[in-house]
Structure 1
Amino acid sequence: MTDSIDHRLRGAWTPDGADASHLTAKELRWLRSRIGDTTPNDPVAPDSAIATPPSQLPERAQSAIAAIVGAGNVLEEPRERLERSGGLSYLDLLRRRQPAAGIPTPDAVVLPGSPQQVQQVLDVCVEHDVGVVPFGGGTSVVGGVTAFKGGKKAVIVLDLERLNRLVSVDPISHTAVLQAGVRAPDAERMLSAHGFTLGHVPQSFERATIGGFAATRSAGQASSGYGRFEDMVTGLRLATPRGEWELGVAPASAAGPDLRQLAIGSEGTLGVITEVAVRVRPLPDTEHFEALAVDGWEHGCGLVRQLAQQGLLADITRLSDVDETAVQLQLAGTWKTSVLRRYLGAHGVDEPCLLVLSWHGESDDRRKKAMRLLRSGGGVWLTSAPARAWLRGRFGGPRQRDALLDAGVCVETLETATHWSKLGTLYDRVRTALRRELGHPLIMCHVSHAYETGASLYFTVLTPRDPEDPIGQWERAKAAACEAISADRVGTISHHHAVGMDHAPYLTAEIGELGREVLVAAKRAVDPTGVLNPGKLIG
């Protein structure tokens, strides 16, 4: 492992201590044939190359916080602060490779050991006007955990990794309470001991936390079957500058607006989530995988829409466009690709789009009806092998970014969602905006989540990195894509990545000025001095 601040991030993404994913020479040649020549980049900068400003945390605040959590749980060394200085966006990773770009660094990292300690630390920060950035797995790709001071004299990162307990399981009601710092794999391990699963598996699964899922309105790859994370939450416990706030006493209520839904997705701006009560499901006895190729993106989207509107979606339903499918075929190997293309062409599939499906538990009737619909619509069955291959590699994308960055590639993702009638317009707008700024990038897209009324679009962009202005290169491209999404309210600025700092300038276009004023009023009610996650969500 390299002696760099990125070792924690790189290792956390890599199971069993394996090396990060790499690109073979053949894969790199193929990629450059698609996007053009790239200039290899220097690896992650060592600690010594990154200037870390001295901590500005007032001594009285530091002493008071240490008295609450213990001196060993107040971290002020440069390395410890840098490790929690941001998320995992392309720009976050790039700044770690280019020290001159500057990294907003917290003045201290605090590790509370209980919900009570979180509240006590927050009380101290209010007293001394210190900003507080809640931190879980650090997987934000929209600036959601950037250590921005927002005019405060200092800012701390409140790392909840010690809040890692399964508090309770109610097997009769099928609910459980988990502390906010529990990582997703640990949540599944603890719940499975009781015969249950949460069923929430986003790409960030390996290191994201329960609190982070709630704070960002996360959506998992199996959300068609298990629901989005906000559908799973039955209650919340938060620490706020005004005191503890507990929400949720029943499975449904007409006692005014559902304030749980105000707290879910609040991104640490209305409180620090310390415990989450969730609905759990019995562990499925079986999983069934299928993969099909359909001819053309528009046709494929139409078939997924029919599945959604007829109640036949698989728990995992993922449709790749022509470009993403081409990359998947290329990675399968040349001879396999040529044989498969001939096979598909013989069955009338000239522009293959890969459809991956997975059903959990007893779902034979639904699965058979779905497969009949897809085959009658021209879908060509490819066995379960492509779906299982996707399953094996579904967490590999974040790891492979290191190899792409080393090769001089600008690689980033963005996502949105809209109604079925606007899906084609949104798809075209985003691709046009990105090409206008980047020239001839490789733009891949898939439908990652489908609903009766619409679907999400998840884009992956690869282009040669501009060696002179790499940060500005992506900032301009992302702004163009965001403006294309926001124009005429054709889509949401975020389906599941949240708002953070990056999307905050576009939120008003989606919710209106009055909607923003409502959020500001809620912020003032619970955080009158603005110490909670400065600069996020509402800017």
Structure 2
Amino acid sequence: MCNTVLVSDSIDHTLRGSWTQSGAGSARLSAHAVRWLRQRTGIGAETTPAVPSSLVDVPESALPSAARADLVELLGQEHVLTEPAQRLGRAGGMSYSDLIRRRGGHDVAVPDGVAVPADPEQVQLVLELCVRHDLAVVAFGGGTSVVGGVGALRGDKVAVLVLDLARLSRLISVDPVAHVAVLQAGTRAPEAEELLAAHGFTLGHFPQSFERATIGGFAATRSAGQASSGYGRFESMVEGVRLATPAGEWRLGTAPASAAGPDLRQLAIGSEGTLGVITEVAVRVRPVPVETRYEAVVLDGWQAGAEAVRALAQSRALADVTRLSDEDESEVQFELSGAAKSRALRTLLRTRRIAEPCLLVLGWHAATRQELDERRERTFRALRRFRSVGLGRRVGESWRDNRFSGPRQRDTLLDLGACVETLETATYWSGISELRSSVRAALLRNLEVDGRRPVVMCHISHAYETGASLYFTVMGLRDGQDPLGQWDRAKRAATEAIADSEHATGRGTITHHHAVGTDHRPWLREEIGGLGVEVLAAVKRTVDPTGVLNPGKLIP
């Protein structure tokens, strides 16, 4: 709820140290917000700028000369990159730990080389070349992973090569009758929306990583967008995939539904580059909405808010965007909106006897005004039994206009000495409050520094008839002596609370939409069982016999 952020489709995907080139300058916090953060958490007492890229320690490339020569012959000199700055630009993702390493200039896992293929055929040939030369290969799209999914890990290979898919950015086809489009995997989300809009369609997939993320990345990680209540999670949009694997090319998906054995598309979706490199994705698209409306209401307390969202989900009255913030997240949003607005809003809520304000943002996309009005009426009819205060369209539209501002605000907070990061899970409605309490307690307990407790925020943004996701954001004082250890301990404690072995199936999933990567890999066995891990390992041995694909990720 700071200044309106315009979505940019021109962010350099090789920019690793911040979300945009201007870093903290792209989302300056107001003086009131900085004072409030300092009083509440201790953040902002001193600035902690990042070291320049030129001072980041980049080791010499270990790419064998014979492998480099073969890559140059295949792709051309300009598409085989080994200079330090070029390799550093594809080093890791955008997690707090990634950014802290980059800001400090040390312990950054840098690839030995970068290959930039032009099409799916070249991707296939690069993988075969990597097998011959025993090179690990990491597929790289927007580089937005926050779980270590694109870290340049070598494993037991002689070197690690990043496969940058930026040149695979075409819209291959649109079927206007079936509403199916085929996009190359390196197409960034804003580009995909622009290409589809020319045909009157939208994908409707808008995660917070929208500006940088790619179509292939969405598929490889089972992404979920802010409007998933209406458009669905990304895997529900996928009609087919094309993969390059060391064992050969693999095409999956021939019809809208099939009983021809297990749906093998689901092996590719969520495989995180460990079973193949996704080169094309066929997706279900929808007509661009003619009418949209965003507004907000405030409910009294988390329990009532969660019950309200459950009522919406189970009566099929969810808005396309349905996002419930708990008391802490609501407080932060109110304070970041400015002192005057915050005071006025609190006065209003007190007069309406709202003791624990929880902000609920609702957004509808529709083909006609009548459809929008009918859906909105259905939503508010389901909310009537809950005590609430309507805040109207201004607050809802403010959220819409600023929904991609989080990564920019993080750059500002990092400069102010903050530990700021996210994690997420999902569970059934019957356990939603217990899970929130357990994770929240673990984070509070492990992130306290010098007696200053962090702010731990939580929201529901993906609701289902049976349950919902929980998305946590933490803002606290960074441990200057051990910033990586501070977050690692907190993340481990939170994940242990989620995967609690005392519960037969754990309290929730280790990840709802961030994927597994390296961060969640130690707990995958607890979620899918030892036999499940063996099944994944057997598939990997079939499609990747020598283990060149994304070592150290997903499969324990």
Moved more, 518-527 or 329-338: 329-338
Long gaps (5+) in structure 2:
1-11
Equivalent residue for 1:207? 212
- Work out whether residues 24 and 412 of structure 2, in 8 Å CA contact, stay in contact via their aligned partners in 1: no
For 2:24 and 2:175, locate their aligned partners in 1 and report how far apart those are by CA, in whole Å: 37
Within the candidate set 287, 290, 305, 1:282 is matched to 287
Aligned residue for 1:313, secondary structure, equals: coil
Q: Could you give the per-residue CA deviations for residues 146-197 of structure 1, whole angstroms, max 9, x where no partner exists?
A: 0000111100000000000000000011100000000000000000000000
Within the candidate set 417, 424, 433, 1:415 is matched to 424
Equivalent residue for 1:50? 56
Task: Tell me by how many angstroms 1:532 deviates.
Answer: 0.2
Equivalent residue for 1:270? 275
Within the candidate set 72, 89, 92, 2:95 is matched to 89
Letter in 1 for 2:131: V
Equivalent residue for 2:85? 79
Q: Could you give the per-residue CA deviations for residues 270-304 of structure 1, whole angstroms, max 9, x where no partner exists?
A: 00000000000011110011210000001000000
Q: Does 1:526 align with 2:543?
A: yes
Equivalent residue for 1:152? 157
Aligned residue for 1:231, secondary structure, equals: helix
Alignment of 1:394-413 (within 5 A): 394-413=403-422
For 1:217 and 1:6, locate their aligned partners in 2 and report how far apart those are by CA, in whole Å: 20
Long gaps (5+) in structure 1:
none
Aligned residue for 1:363, secondary structure, equals: helix
Equivalent residue for 1:506? 523
Alignment of 1:94-493 (within 5 A): 94-100=100-106, 102-361=107-366, 362-439=371-448, 440-487=453-500, 488=503, 489-493=506-510
- Work out whether residues 39 and 465 of structure 1, in 8 Å CA contact, stay in contact via their aligned partners in 2: no
TM norm structure 1: 0.96
For 2:304 and 2:465, locate their aligned partners in 1 and report how far apart those are by CA, in whole Å: 17
Task: Tell me by how many angstroms 1:43 deviates.
Answer: 2.1
Aligned residue for 1:124, secondary structure, equals: helix
For 1:46 and 1:445, locate their aligned partners in 2 and report how far apart those are by CA, in whole Å: 34
Moved more, 510-519 or 240-249: 510-519
Aligned residue for 1:284, secondary structure, equals: coil
CA RMSD in angstroms comes to 1.6
Letter in 1 for 2:77: A
For 1:62 and 1:463, locate their aligned partners in 2 and report how far apart those are by CA, in whole Å: 45
Q: Could you give the per-residue CA deviations for residues 407-449 of structure 1, whole angstroms, max 9, x where no partner exists?
A: 1111000111000001001000001111111121100111011
Q: Does 1:8 align with 2:15?
A: yes
TM norm structure 2: 0.93
Letter in 2 for 1:288: R
- Work out whether residues 309 and 452 of structure 1, in 8 Å CA contact, stay in contact via their aligned partners in 2: yes
Equivalent residue for 1:33? 39
Task: Tell me by how many angstroms 1:41 deviates.
Answer: 4.4
Task: Tell me by how many angstroms 1:342 deviates.
Answer: 2.4
- Work out whether residues 88 and 141 of structure 1, in 8 Å CA contact, stay in contact via their aligned partners in 2: yes
For 1:311 and 1:274, locate their aligned partners in 2 and report how far apart those are by CA, in whole Å: 35
Cα separation, partners in 2 of 1:78 and 1:41, compared to 1, 3 Å: farther
Q: Could you give the per-residue CA deviations for residues 189-233 of structure 1, whole angstroms, max 9, x where no partner exists?
A: 000000000000000000100000000000000000000000000
For 1:259 and 1:302, locate their aligned partners in 2 and report how far apart those are by CA, in whole Å: 36
Task: Tell me by how many angstroms 1:49 deviates.
Answer: 1.9
Moved more, 526-535 or 52-61: 52-61
Aligned residue for 1:521, secondary structure, equals: helix
Task: Tell me by how many angstroms 1:24 deviates.
Answer: 3.0
Q: Does 1:23 align with 2:29?
A: yes
Aligned residue for 1:343, secondary structure, equals: helix
Aligned-residue identity in percent: 61
Task: Tell me by how many angstroms 1:506 deviates.
Answer: 0.9
For 1:313 and 1:530, locate their aligned partners in 2 and report how far apart those are by CA, in whole Å: 44
Letter in 2 for 1:373: A
Q: Could you give the per-residue CA deviations for residues 440-495 of structure 1, whole angstroms, max 9, x where no partner exists?
A: 11001110110000000111001111111111111111111111111021101100
- Work out whether residues 10 and 20 of structure 1, in 8 Å CA contact, stay in contact via their aligned partners in 2: no
Cα separation, partners in 2 of 1:198 and 1:327, compared to 1, 3 Å: same
For 1:65 and 1:460, locate their aligned partners in 2 and report how far apart those are by CA, in whole Å: 42
Cα separation, partners in 2 of 1:184 and 1:14, compared to 1, 3 Å: farther
Equivalent residue for 2:4? none
Letter in 1 for 2:338: G
